[in-house]
Amino acid sequence: MIDTYAVIGNPIGHTQSPLIHGLFAEATQQTMHYTAIEGPREPDGAFAATVREFMAAGGKGMNITAPFKLAAFDMADERSERATLAGAANAFKFEGGRMFAENFDGIGLLRDIEVNLHAPLAGKRVLLLGAGGAARGALLPFLGAHPAELVIANRRVDKARALTSQLSSHGAIAACTYGELERMGRFDLVINATSASLTGDLPPVPPGVFSAHGTAYELAYGKRLTPFLRLARNAGVAGIVDGVGMLVEQAAEAFAWWRGVRPETQAVIGRLTVPLDQA
């Protein structure tokens, strides 16, 4: 019997996950099947029922994408520290009738930045826009990379400050409002972890936060030159990138968790990458 995996989300027609995991399986000579499932948004409990049905049919694991990451976290039997901090899960492993939840978004993002973009965070000033699940998943991996300072800017500063209080023992971390960014100088890395780009909007970030020699990173992918990336380009930033590398790297982490072998990612990233002006 072939091991079966899936990605679940809604909508799901745009997903690249079956292609990515198919390429990983081919490269690592793993015999497995990977599919996409459009999960039901309603009624309550329908998402959990869909997951349990997949597990009962012999499914070995799942990737979870929007809007189900919070629901996946809630229904898990066991959760990793990363998933617990994020309050969200982006991967399940099914073993012995139990659901194990992980969140690989943060380590996938860190690997893309440090390995693929050759931009180590040690000693650098990092600005993270947003304090939602995407941002929370990045905090522990980022602090483990020893930046000089990690600043979280959020509309609701109390939400960001709660995270800094929780993680202050892990490194130099601070919170601020968007308005306070005007006086905070330039950052080596600015990451847009808000949902603004999904609707074509721009988070209220001043252009003065960007360093010309730094990097502007958009978590969304396939959205062309988003307002955030356009702002960074107009501010003179040389390195502007979207989240394709993160997508592939977090998928590789899940694949390794499931299959015990981590696939190479460069060829897959290259296959999916489109110049931002042409995306």
User: Which residues are designated catalytic?
Assistant: 69
The annotation status of 168 as a binding-site residue, yes or no, is no
Q: Is the peptide bond before 43 cis (omega within 30 degrees of 0)?
A: yes
DSSP count for the chain of H helices, then E strands: 10, 12
The annotation status of 15 as a binding-site residue, yes or no, is yes
Calpha distance 175→163 (Å, rounded): 8
The annotation status of 236 as a binding-site residue, yes or no, is no
Tokens 């194990």 -> residue: 100
The annotation status of 132 as a binding-site residue, yes or no, is yes
The annotation status of 133 as a binding-site residue, yes or no, is yes
Yes or no: say if 106 and 82 are a contact pair by the CB < 8 Å rule.
yes
Q: Where are the alpha helices (DSSP H) in the chain?
A: 17-28, 46-56, 69-75, 81-86, 105-111, 133-144, 157-167, 227-234, 244-259, 266-272
Calpha distance 17→22 (Å, rounded): 8
The annotation status of 166 as a binding-site residue, yes or no, is no
The annotation status of 221 as a binding-site residue, yes or no, is yes
The annotation status of 250 as a binding-site residue, yes or no, is yes
The annotation status of 90 as a binding-site residue, yes or no, is yes
CB-side exposure of 189: number of CA atoms within 13 Å? 29
Annotated binding site: 15-17, 65, 81, 90, 105, 130-134, 219, 221, 243, 250
Annotated binding site for shikimate: 15-17, 65, 90, 105, 221, 250
Annotated binding site for NADP(+): 81, 130-134, 219, 243
